[in-house]
Each structure stands twice: as C-alpha cells, then as structure tokens.
Chain A
Amino acid sequence: METVEINLEEQFQARIDADIRIEPKDWMPDAYRKTLIRQISQHAHSELVGMLPEGNWITRAPSLKRKSILLSKVQDEAGHGLYLYSAAETLGASRDQMLADLHSGKAKYSSIFNYPTLSWADMGTVGWLVDGAAILNQVPLCRTSYGPYARAMVRVCKEESFHQRQGFEIMQTLCEGAPEQKAMAQEALNRWWWPTLMMFGPKDADSPNTEQSMKWRIKRFTNDELRQKFVDMMVPQAEFLGLTVPDPALKWNETKQGYDFGEVNWEEFWNVVKGNGMCNKDRLGARVKAHEEGAWVREAALAHAKKRAAKAETQAA
C-alpha cells in the first residue's frame, strides 16, 4: 500500500472554502498566521493611534453633550484596539512585542491618522468620512476565516455606526448653521476627502498580496472595489449636506451605475506610509511618551499583585 501524504495545506484551504472558521489551536500554514498577525496588529495600532487626532479636541468640544459623545467615541476606539490585540495574541503574538513594534516604527498603522485635526469641523469629517471608510473595510471582516478576528470585528462594527452618525450630525449642524460654519465644514471636507480615499490602500495593480488574502478570506473585497463603494455611498451624503466633493473629475457613470472619480495622489500616500506625513512624528511621539510614563504604574500594579498573592499563600499555610 502506498502511504498517503495528507496534505494539511489542502485540507486547510478546503475548510476555508467551505466557510468553516479556523480557531486558535487548529493547524494553519505559517504564512497565514504571520499575515494575520501583521494585519490584525496593524488594525489594532490604527485604533490606538486613531484616538490621538480626536483626543486633541476633547477639551475644546463646543458643548458638554459634544464632549461626552467625543469622549465615548475615543473610549470605544481604545476598546477596539484591545479586542484586536487580544485576537492577535491568540495567534501567539505577544502584546509587549506588538507595542514595541509600533513604537519603534517597524509596524504600520493607517496613514489617515498622520493628518492634523485643525478645526472642530474635523471632528465631524473624521466621524463621517474616516469612520465611514473604516466601516466599509470592517463589515466584510465580520465573516473573515479566523474565528477570534471575526468575533472581534462583530463587536467593533456594532460600535462603529454610532461613530459615523455622530460625525454626520456634527456636519449637518455646521452646514445648517452660519455661512462661516458651513465654510468650516467645506474646508474640512476639502482636506480629508483624498486622504480618506487612501485608507483603502494602494490600487489593486499595486497590491500583490490581495490575491492570497482573498483566497484565505482574510480580505473579502479588493482595495479598488471598496474605494468605489465608498465614493458611491458618500457623494449623495455630501450632496445632502450641500457640500462639494473636492474632485473635478467626479461624475456619475450611467453604464457602471457608479461614480467615476479622479486619481489619488499616490506619491503623497507612499510618503505618509514611509513616515513623512504631517503628523507621523507627533503621533508616535505621543504614543511612546504615554507608554513610557505609564511604565511605573504597570510595574507597581504587578509588584502589588505579587505581594498580595504571597501574603494570601502564607496565610493559607
């Protein structure tokens, strides 16, 4: 009899094709594990760094209501980071290592958070556009092949729609207000529109890993597909607000039942990814500072827990 070599990799792919979730202790190819750790931790880093541009406005929110809402939103983003770090840890990544990689600049996070938040209208635009783009990216991931990641994304998605709505409400209030307020909203849209389109990543032709990721179902739509969906979704909302999308090439295309739109400035995109955006240094600096200044708290809490555990042991003896 011939020995049958069981091809683990084929079995693995067959499970994914049958939409059977992969769980932490199941066998998986090394490349799947590595790619997922990178993707999930990058996503977690984005949630964490994403708190900074909005945290910038908490003390200057125009009313107590807006301040409470913004605080809650930022707190949610911290939670999203935690859900995702936990999911990455089920794959064997360590929390300390992931944070060290973020702080050393080795790991990436979404380029969008390297843009400054200059006016209160930016809080509206970020919630409406940036969280809107995040939702489009995240909803398909609720069905991703890796169980803990999919479950984390279900939680995240439940919380995101509040983020987008509060942003839209800020925009609507500004657009229905004084001409100066509306101008402020338009100015914010002008600055955020293109960077938001970059959130979906490079063009499909420049995204060589997409095919493998789609096969593994850790990505369910291509970058260009999501970007198109986003434009089609947002243009009518901008029209409702009476705002102009800053793209002269934007035009409804009857045949494809979607909008044609201009080319993203890819040079700017790669520049920001490489660390040369307006706020890269600020953002990382703020992260590292918070981490270092919190070190003594983490150490003290651990020492205290150890001492109490030792005391409980001697009392029991």
Chain B
Amino acid sequence: MNQSEWPLWEVFIRSKQGLDHKHVGSLHAADATMAIQNARDVYTRRLEGISIWVVESQHVHASNPDDAEAFYDPANDKVYRHPTFYQVPDSIKHM
C-alpha cells in the first residue's frame, strides 16, 4: 500500500424518512466531507437515500464469528422470552 491511499469509510443510508440507516458498502475519501459527497454519487444515483452516515472503517469494531456459538448461546434456552411460550385461554381477547 502506498502512502497516498485515502482512508476507507463505511457508508450507511436512510432510504426514507422513518427507516433506519442501513450499511450499503464502503469507499475511499480523504475526509468525512468528501466521503459523504462520494457516497452521494456512488450510492444514491437513483434516489436510494435521504440521509447518509459515514464512519471511518478503522473505527468499526466487530464481534468475532469464531466466538459466535458461545457469544449467542445464552439466548438459546430462554424460550420464555417469546410471547408464543405462553398459553392464553381462548376466551381472553386482546392479548
């Protein structure tokens, strides 16, 4: 890698008012302003968004897929967290 490579940014786009920003991809830019402008050109050429977030990729911390089993396992045996775990008598309405 030579020294002139611009940092990498992750791009998140809100497709319409009321929805979450969603990760759409990444791009290189010298700074945040340029990253947002480039994201506009690369990811919203057909009205795909009304709001853009950019985060420098080096600031994103991710869980490790190798730990997935142990990491998510605590939720495995807690079926009582779901409403379907409970039996509601037929005569009870609005629950």
- Would A82 and B45 count as touching, CB distance under 8 A? no
Complex Cα distance, B6 from A302, in Å, reads 7
How far, in angstroms, from A95 to B8 measured CA to CA in the complex?
10
Tell me whether B90 is interfacial, beta carbon within 8 Å: no
Is there a chain B Cβ closer than 8 Å to A96's Cβ?
A: yes
Question: In residues 50-105 of chain A, which contact B (Cβ within 8 Å)?
Answer: 72, 75-76, 79, 82-83, 86, 89-90, 94-97
A25/B64 contact (C-beta < 8 A), A82-B27, A95-B28 known: yes
- The 0/1 profile, CB within 8 Å of B marked 1, for residues 206-235 of chain A is 000000000000000000000000000000
B58 at the binding interface (Cβ < 8 Å): no
CB-CB under 8 A from A83, the residues of chain B are: 25, 42
The interface residues of chain A, by DSSP majority, are classed as helix
A4 contacts B by Cβ under 8 Å: no
Given B5, B25, B31, B45, which contacts A305 in the complex, CB threshold below 8 Å? B31
Is A152 interfacial (CB 8 A cutoff)? yes
Contacts of B62 in A (CB 8 A): 25
Known: A301-B34, A305-B30. A79 touches B45 (CB 8 A): yes
Decide: A299 and B4 in contact? CB cutoff 8 A.
Answer: yes
- Contact among B1, B26, B34, B45 for A94, CB-based, below 8 A: B1
Q: At the interface, yes or no: B66 with Cβ under 8 Å from chain A? A: yes
Question: B65 near A302 (CB under 8 angstroms)?
Answer: no
Most A CB within 10 A of own CB, among B4, B5, B30, B31: B30
Q: How far is the CA of A218 from the CA of B53 in the complex (A)?
A: 31
Q: Which residues of B contact A252 (CB under 8 A)?
A: none
Count of interface residues, chain B, beta-carbon cutoff 8 Å:
21
Contact mask B3-14 → A, CB, 8 Å, 1/0? 011101000000
Residues in A with CB closer than 8 Å to B5 are 94-96
Q: Do residues B8 and A152 form an inter-chain contact, with CB atoms below 8 A?
A: no
User: For window 286-302 of chain A, which residues contact chain B by CB distance below 8 Å?
Assistant: 295, 298-299, 301-302
The interface residues of chain A lying within 8 Å CB-to-CB of B64 are: 25
User: Quick one: which of A8-39 are within 8 Å of B by CB?
Assistant: 23, 25-27
Q: Counting CB contacts under 8 A, is A311 at the interface?
A: no
Determine whether B2 belongs to the interface, using a CB cutoff of 8 Å to chain A.
yes
Chain A contact residue count (CB 8 A cutoff)? 30
CA distance A160 to B8 in the complex (A): 26
A295-B4 in contact (CB<8A): yes
Q: Which of B2, B8, B30, B41 contacts A89 (CB 8 A)?
A: B8
Set A23, A25, A82, A301: member contacting B6, Cβ < 8 A: A301
Q: Chain A residues near B66 (CB, 8 Å)?
A: 27
| Given A94-B1, A94-B5, also A302-B30 (CB < 8 A) | yes
Q: C-beta contact mask, B51-87 vs A, less than 8 Å → 1, else 0?
A: 0000000000010111000000000000000000000
Q: Which residues of B contact A304 (CB under 8 A)?
A: 30-31
Complex Cα distance, B11 from A67, in Å, reads 30
Q: Can you name the residue of chain B whose Cβ is closest to the Cβ of A148?
A: B25
Known: A76-B45, A83-B25, A308-B31. A96 touches B1 (CB 8 A): yes
Of residues 250 through 309 on chain A, the ones whose CB sits less than 8 Å from some CB of chain B are 295, 298-299, 301-302, 304-305, 308-309
Q: Closest CB of chain A to B53's CB: distance in Å?
A: 16
Whole-angstrom CA separation of A76 from B43 in the bound complex: 10
Residues of chain A within 8 A of B30, CB atoms compared:
298, 301-302, 304-305
19 contacts between A and B (CB under 8 A): A23-B65, A25-B62, A26-B65, A27-B66, A75-B45, A82-B27, A82-B42, A86-B26, A89-B8, A94-B1, A94-B5, A96-B1, A152-B25, A155-B25, A159-B45, A295-B4, A301-B6, A301-B31, A302-B4
* Pairs of residues from A and B, 5 with the lowest C-beta to C-beta distance, nearest first: A301-B30, A305-B31, A305-B30, A94-B1, A86-B26
